[in-house]
Amino acid sequence: MRTSSLVLARFLFLFIFTGLLLPSGATSQRWEFVYPRQLIKLRNCCELLESLKRQQEELQAAMKEEEEEEELEEEEDKHSQVDHMCSL
pLDDT digits (tens), the chain, 88 positions? 567 778 778 777 777 666 655 566 667 677 788 888 888 888 888 998 999 999 999 999 999 999 999 998 888 887 777 666 666 6
pLDDT of residue 24: 62
**Would you say residue 29 lies in a domain?**
yes
Instruction: Indicate if 1 and 32 belong to the same structural domain.
Output: yes
Residues 29 and 3 in one domain: yes
Using a CB cutoff of 8 Å and minimum separation of 24, what contacts does 27-34 make? 33/7, 34/3, 34/7
pLDDT confidence of residue 64: 94
Residue 82 structural domain: 55-88
What pLDDT, on the 0 to 100 scale, is given for residue 12? 72
Identify the pLDDT of residue 82.
66
Is 24 within a domain? yes
- 43 in a domain, yes or no? no
My answer on whether 59 and 28 are in the same domain is: no
Residue 84 in any domain: the answer is: yes
Q: Looking at the domain assignment, is residue 42 inside a domain?
A: no
Same domain, 29 and 2: yes
Residues 60 and 88 in one domain: yes
Burial per residue of 6-16, b for 16 or more beta-carbon CB atoms within 10 angstroms, e otherwise: eeeeeeeeeee
- Does the residue 77 lie in any domain? yes
Q: Say how many domains are in the chain.
A: 2
| DSSP 8-state code for residue 35 | -
